[in-house]
Amino acid sequence: MKHLIQGAFWLGLYVIVSLLPLCVVFLGPRPPGRDFITELSVALGFVGLAMIGLQFFLTARFRHIEAPYGLDLILRFHREISTAAFLIILAHPALLFWRDRSFELLNLPQQPPRVWFATLSLLALVGLIVTSVWRTSLKLEYETWRVIHGSLAIATLGLAMGHVIGVGHYIADLWQQILWILMGIASVTVLLWIRVFKPLSFLRHPYEVTQIRDEGADVYTLRCEPVGHEGFDFDAGQFAWLTLWDSPFSIEEHPFSMASSALETEFLEFTIKELGDFTADVHHLPEGATAYIDGPYGAFSFERYPAAGYVFLAGGIGITPIMSMLRTLADYGDTRHLLLIFAAKQLENLTFREEIDALHDRLPHLETIYVLNDPPDDWDGEQGYVDAAMLDTYLPEYPARYQYFLCGPYPMLINVEKALLACDVPTTHIHAELFNLV
């Protein structure tokens, strides 16, 4: 309920701030002799500009804003709403072309600087969208893309502000000036917060890597202990951004789920599978190395959804947030019915299998089903893929009384979600974590 109210509050605030610039157009003194099309075009331009400004807030990882939705939902909204903002902004010049029945505004050498600002801002926005939508086709590494993305976002907003000041119609009154200055200050503050104040705070709250455990099959667990501070509390299943080898001012940080129990206050553990350059180097870290951790984030946690029991469906390294939930439930001494269906390619990819088997002593109603795609000859567990028929065999008698947590590769999530729905699991009871935010 608390998250529902918070969510409604932030959504309402988002709508109000997006539409606030309309007050500037419709409440303030209007330039004389302007037709409706011009005013509509200006109004749409302002709404689009406010939406672009708000994107900085959406991606700044403010925990209060993120908490009700989870970061992946916020980032999805950020992506979808940028297309809407782009179309709204595009309508601004389109209406002017239509009004003039001419494209003279595109004849840039004949145009004043304010039109140049507008054109360059729009081009920066196009660049922003193209590099984001086609990042993998353009073979842009994540870190390179992040630098490009941030630079183009600042350019889009800065050039658009240059355009507004150049046009000068809506900055005449004191209250209009105050509004624009406040919006400008807010955007700059967010940038300073992300790039300066937050990293400074991490510098004062470092962690030490005190243990690196080989879990087999190119998976390693890092234990990180807070140095000179208490660390942070988290809900089992949440994740954090990890910076290793670098200062907290570095652009390179990677998201990982906490795998340790949420009741463990001495340390955090992350279990990481080798995938690319960052994850492949993790086990080369010397013990005693410094880590910076930004968290917790995410809404993927049983703590949020009270239920008669829980069903966990993990694929491969997707076991990490689920392991945190199981360890936490064991620490609570939970006696509810828990079902874990853990699918992996081969036996060695069932990370934590021994510990999970041992957890049955502490979780009396834990049921575990292992599923292998490529099992050894003497395997007597399930094999193949998790599908509706398999779920039908193992799901509890009253599926609607349970909450369901899925984490694994994208194709698995899609298929398992469909299968759960086919087994009469209510859609609102299904919670998925995808290890890919971009």
Chain contacts with ligand FAD (rule: CB under 6 A) = 142, 239, 253-257, 270-273, 275-279, 317, 320, 433, 435-438
The least CB distance from residue 173 to ligand FAD, in Å, is 44
Nearest CB to ligand FAD, comparing residues 142 and 385: 142
The least CB distance from residue 234 to ligand FAD, in Å, is 13
Nearest CB to ligand FAD, comparing residues 271 and 301: 271
Nearest CB to ligand FAD, comparing residues 43 and 407: 407
Name the residue whose CB lies closest to ligand FAD: 276
The least CB distance from residue 271 to ligand FAD, in Å, is 6
The least CB distance from residue 22 to ligand FAD, in Å, is 35
Nearest CB to ligand FAD, comparing residues 63 and 365: 63
How far apart, in whole angstroms, are the C-alpha atoms of residue 44 and residue 231?
45
The least CB distance from residue 42 to ligand FAD, in Å, is 38
Nearest CB to ligand FAD, comparing residues 220 and 404: 220
Nearest CB to ligand FAD, comparing residues 93 and 295: 295
Other beta carbons within 10 Å of 429: 17
The least CB distance from residue 188 to ligand FAD, in Å, is 25
Q: Are 414 and 53 in contact (CB under 8 A)?
A: no
